[in-house]
Amino acid sequence: MRSNKFFGRDWLSPEIDYTKEEWESLIKLAIDLKTKYSLNEDTSHILKGQTLYTMFFNSSLRTRSTFANGIQQLGGYHVDLEPGKTYTPARKGFEIPYKTERISDVARVLSRTGNALAIRMYGKPSQWIYGFAHETLKEFAKWSDIPIINMEDDIYHPCQALADMMTIKEKFGEFKKKKFVISWAYSGSTAKPFAVPQSLALAPSLLGMDVVLARPKGFELDPKVTKQCKAYAEQNGSAFEETDDMEAAFEDAHVVYPKSWGAMDYFAKIDKNGKKVKEENLDGMKSLFEKNKDWICDEKKMKLIDKNGIYMHCLPADRDMEVTDPVIDGPQSVVFDEAENRLHAQKAIMALLMGGRL
């Protein structure tokens, strides 16, 4: 299927770069692949003999296991390139002799020997500079002849978003007239990127859901993201709003997604030449977190949502901080359905971008 319109494209910021119809096509394929898996139908012809490289700068359970398993189910091979055990790819100006290798060289080498490269990077590996990791992925894409897949960076987590939208499609059958709440929640750790909340504000907005962003003051998302969410709402005849009232946001919601993320004002900054002009202030961020411990998803708040509503989280969840045990282990929780759907959503991404035989 190498003539398909997805073949050879990157999966960097598809919440912006892919259309609503393309997202719907990916969701449909993911559900179809899941059905085939449940029926033990062989899908090993789809990417037979193709190689997926992965590069994790951060720890991973669901993403690592599902990409490795997914490419094998499609008949391909997985090679994990661990930064530090290989030469660590670096952008110009951030190189260390005999420890790093220029991204332009790495990307061209891997393009000669593999069929796609998937990368995860955020937080400390990107020096807590907001946007640094995403620019790193874009640098790979600039030099690569094979698709670059974003497994989570400091701005977007599109693989998680696709699996979540697939889960909602399975549960409700449609997106229109469904209220989706992406909410900040307290955590004892400040090492939380913006990727999940930003992708989970954009993707449901793109697909026509009524989206509410709930967060305490100081935890606003990137203004460019919220501006795009409003534009999607206008296009779809739906709604996008922000609030600093978690309980009000939960009222009559069909989906609630309480998740911790950082505070933008405390991240590091660089100038136009790439020089660091402001250090990260994780202690200051921690103080802001501690002022908002009441932002937790508990049974009381869950009683506010629609009677058929669901609780979602990308995992790992910080139990008794972001969410209580009775909620995450309760009947309205679909977190393990989401985790399962990572496998099939990512198979759909690989199958289309790598020109699979469908």
User: Could you report the per-residue pLDDT of 110-149, keeping only the tens digit for each?
Assistant: 999 999 999 999 999 999 999 999 999 999 999 999 999 9
- 316 prior amide bond cis, ω within 30: yes
Question: Stretch 34-49: mean pLDDT, rounded?
Answer: 98
Query: Mean pLDDT score of the chain, rounded to an integer?
Result: 96
The answer on pLDDT for 91 being more than 50 is: yes
What is the pLDDT, as a whole number, of residue 1? 44
E-strand ranges in the chain read: 51-56, 77-80, 88-90, 100-102, 116-120, 148-150, 179-183, 210-214, 240-243, 255-258, 269-270, 276-278, 310-311
What residues have CB less than 8 Å from 64, skipping those under 6 apart?
54, 56, 80
The answer on pLDDT for 2 being more than 70 is: no
Question: Stretch 210-234: mean pLDDT, rounded?
Answer: 98
Q: What percent of the chain has pLDDT over 90?
A: 93
Split at pLDDT 50, 70, 90, the class of 72 is very high
* 247: its two tokens: 């309980």
Question: Stretch 88-102: mean pLDDT, rounded?
Answer: 93
> How does pLDDT run across 290-325, given as a tens digit for each residue?
999 999 999 999 999 999 999 999 999 999 999 999
- Name residue 56's beta-bridge partners: 120
Classify residue 297 by its DSSP letter: B
Least reliable range by pLDDT among 64-73, 104-113, 267-276, 328-337: 267-276
Of 111, 107, 162, nearest to 139 by C-alpha is 107
Question: Stretch 219-229: mean pLDDT, rounded?
Answer: 98
- For the residues of 64-85, what is the DSSP string, one character each? HHHHHHHHHHTT-EEEE--BTT
Radius of gyration, CA atoms only, the chain = 20
What residues have CB less than 8 Å from 197, skipping those under 6 apart?
182, 184, 213, 221, 259, 261
CA distance 68 to 53: 9
Residues 158 and 199 sit within 8 Å (Cβ to Cβ): yes
The answer on pLDDT for 78 being more than 80 is: yes
Phi, psi of 54 (to 5 degrees): -125, 150
Residues 230 and 299 sit within 8 Å (Cβ to Cβ): no
The answer on pLDDT for 64 being more than 60 is: yes
The answer on pLDDT for 199 being more than 80 is: yes
The answer on pLDDT for 42 being more than 90 is: yes
* 85: its two tokens: 């055990």
Residue with tokens 């790992």: 316
* 170: its two tokens: 């399975």
* 215: its two tokens: 């967060």
Of 123, 197, 118, 119, nearest to 160 by C-alpha is 197
What is the pLDDT, as a whole number, of residue 4? 82
CA distance 42 to 47: 12
The answer on pLDDT for 202 being more than 90 is: yes
What is the pLDDT, as a whole number, of residue 154? 97
Structural domains of the chain in order of their starting residue, each with its CATH number: 14-155+342-353 (3.40.50.1370), 159-339 (3.40.50.1370)
In this structure, what is the dihedral angle of CA atoms 88, 191, 264, 334, given to the nearest 10 degrees?
A: 110
The answer on pLDDT for 271 being more than 90 is: no
Classify residue 87 by its DSSP letter: P
What is the pLDDT, as a whole number, of residue 247? 98
CA distance 139 to 203: 24
What is the pLDDT, as a whole number, of residue 3? 52
**Residue 317 to residues 168, 183, 257, 261, 301: CA-CA distances in angstroms?**
19, 13, 11, 12, 17
* 199: its two tokens: 């992708």
Least reliable range by pLDDT among 29-33, 238-242, 277-281: 277-281
